[in-house]
Structure 1
């Protein structure tokens, strides 16, 4: 628990949450863990996993916090939650489901992750959309990010549906999630830069959240989520692919006004402080790389047998350039943001140059120091490249996962 009390922003959230927002939310979660056994066990399960991955398995707790939390969640069936009314019990359940889903995904327990994400989505469906408090809205945004990872491993992507995007993809709630959270009035000297950061940062986060919707839409037309192989199937998939392509272009036209300047590295003094410039520039480049990864993902799912279109070839070039820009200035041992893992996987599955492949593999392996399953992702990518070189056709990445590891896992 002491580790969690001082924990930095979890890697999956690091590019979509400000440090201050995480600190404020973490303070609330610690208080909830002190009053709710279910939340405490879920937090301990998450903290135990992160601590053991960071410092080694010898740091792992002998207690099975995960099983305790999962059992508590499975048996939890209060009427007030089913009725859709706000309660502290509902908040506690959402917190537990978020941390359990996070652990499930990192530990490749995909079926368990699907179960917990479905439970969270059921709470979202049952609740009055205007009745969710700030913390719950925050948790739904975080759960949506996890769902975008899980859908690539066969999940339903319930939080990623177009119908729910207008309700879920909103600016993050204020850091003042509860009345006892310090406000700008308490520390005015510390908050001016944070306010500026929120104003500049939020449009990029919304863009990234909308990119996650395409992860769901594209995954729904892959061979693991629907029938494929007949003329009728492939015709329908191509038609859906055409619609998705059009919507991707539309999203790009709606990109934040600041994005082009940030990606080009034009955020500099005297317009903005060096710290803000660095963080926003890196994040916007990461968001845009994920946007272009969606274009490659779509081509590999809907148009697998055909050469890259001009648009898809441009996506390859853009991810390559953006990854190099994000890597600039990193120390030798530093890793790219974990949200660059998916773009690198898509890039690595299409490039032919051996030196470029080596660079991509090195970047992915370095991410293992941050969190996630980077090393086994690198192994899968190597096998995908080898099979594609041999057959001269694209190979389904998830099929390779099953062949090597007898399971599929989310890319985190």
Structure 2
């Protein structure tokens, strides 16, 4: 069908999807995109998943696009179900089937999260983790490792909406995170280092510099995602709370998480402080490289500080902000303003800033600052599909907290307003 050809053509030329935009290098995305196009040509499940993803992205970004009447998502799910007649151990063996399933689970989970189908997202993420769990870790090749890193980022979004966060355990950091994004270029179907649209003299050298400078930041950000899982798993939606025994245990877990957060900060990339301070400038690196890395590192650090605020709201909900939590809020505010100052007029903040802004706004008392946070969230509608309803939830959280004089659970407000919970993307 002509419609499907257009959807595949869209994906063939698609820019980095918003959730991956600040945590994936352009070269790696180009390589991975080519690999996925090749997989879609030989696997029906991957093709249906790519078509479903393209249809959603086009429908959200092009007012003239009429969403396909075909249910590509349903077709992809049917293909997965047919495969799952095999035992998980068999599916987890090295080979095209395992890779195709991981790619399909990535696209289906991404769609689920954007469409606020949280239960479906949890199911697809769990199925992906089952494959990973049974797979011999030394048998995972570079494409699979990249897919797993991307799935892990989706899992970090889903866990705040009640997911299990199976990919976020600290034990798995050594298997996936510490190695950073693999170099996919040798696995790509074409030589993407010499594409006509992005090759300029010196581009290869800049790409090498970019990989070297950027990768430690990505590893730092992936480690921050582990804390999203650890903190969410001790909230009232993931475990029992309220008894003396519960709260004593949660306090102990909270203290351990706080200590590990401090340890992670001590292990931050050496370049981070320079980049965050705006000291990564020509002639050390090109202006473009400096801008991209500076914005990314500020985004990563904002999410780190958001974890401290998240921890306080979950573990120490009834207590005033500690000095550490108050400083984290101030740092998010400073970093956000620095990122905004570096943007072209009208450009939104990166999608990965939505969570830090939600944490900042949930504790902000100044009315002018609240209005500024809300305006920044609303400007993110281009890149974050649920920015508008996130702003509505935040406003209701602030109103209820002002009335009660106490913190209010954000997820409870989501259910009260929308009768559902959604991931912050």
TM-score of the aligned structures, taking structure 2 as reference length: 0.94
Contact in 2 for aligned 1:81/1:87 (Cα 8 Å): no
Deviations 1:131-170 (A, max 9, x none): 0010000000000000000000000000001111111102
Cα 1:59–1:332 change in 2 (3 A) is farther
Shift of 1:52: 0.6
- What are structure 2's unaligned runs of at least 5 residues? 1-7
Tell me what 1:226 maps to.
239
| Cα-Cα RMSD | 1.6
Tell me what 1:17 maps to.
24
- Distance in 2 (alpha carbons) for counterparts of 1:199 and 1:39: 31
Shift of 1:284: 0.1
Q: Spell out the pairing of 1:32-51 with structure 2 (5 A cutoff).
A: 32-51=39-58
Tell me what 1:60 maps to.
67
- Distance in 1 (alpha carbons) for counterparts of 2:209 and 2:365: 42
Q: Spell out the pairing of 1:262-411 with structure 2 (5 A cutoff).
A: 262-411=275-424
Task: Please say if 1:98 is aligned against 2:106.
Answer: yes
Shift of 1:11: 0.3
Tell me what 1:176 maps to.
185
Cα 1:28–1:212 change in 2 (3 A) is same
- Distance in 2 (alpha carbons) for counterparts of 1:111 and 1:201: 34
Tell me what 1:134 maps to.
142
Q: Secondary structure at the match of 1:7?
A: coil
Shift of 1:331: 3.3
Tell me what 2:33 maps to.
26
Deviations 1:367-411 (A, max 9, x none): 111132111100000000000010010000000000001111000
Deviations 1:343-378 (A, max 9, x none): 000000001111111111111111111132111100
- Distance in 1 (alpha carbons) for counterparts of 2:263 and 2:249: 21
- Distance in 2 (alpha carbons) for counterparts of 1:242 and 1:50: 41
Cα 1:124–1:234 change in 2 (3 A) is same
Cα 1:302–1:135 change in 2 (3 A) is same
Cα 1:360–1:252 change in 2 (3 A) is same
Q: Secondary structure at the match of 1:75?
A: helix
Contact in 1 for aligned 2:58/2:65 (Cα 8 Å): no
Between Structure 1 and Structure 2, how many residues are aligned?
412
- Distance in 2 (alpha carbons) for counterparts of 1:57 and 1:365: 22
Shift of 1:185: 9.4
- Distance in 1 (alpha carbons) for counterparts of 2:112 and 2:188: 32
Residue 13 (structure 2) aligned to one of 6, 10, 18: 6
- Greater shift, 102-111 or 68-77, is seen at 68-77
Q: Secondary structure at the match of 2:349?
A: coil
- Distance in 2 (alpha carbons) for counterparts of 1:157 and 1:261: 32
Contact in 2 for aligned 1:135/1:177 (Cα 8 Å): no
Shift of 1:183: 7.1
Q: Displaced runs of 4+ in structure 1, greater than 4 A?
A: 78-81, 183-189
Residue 121 (structure 1) aligned to one of 111, 129, 134: 129
- Distance in 2 (alpha carbons) for counterparts of 1:379 and 1:397: 11
Contact in 2 for aligned 1:81/1:89 (Cα 8 Å): no
Tell me what 2:165 maps to.
157
- Distance in 1 (alpha carbons) for counterparts of 2:239 and 2:304: 24
- What are structure 1's unaligned runs of at least 5 residues? none
- Distance in 1 (alpha carbons) for counterparts of 2:345 and 2:81: 45
- Distance in 1 (alpha carbons) for counterparts of 2:60 and 2:358: 22
- Distance in 2 (alpha carbons) for counterparts of 1:335 and 1:181: 33
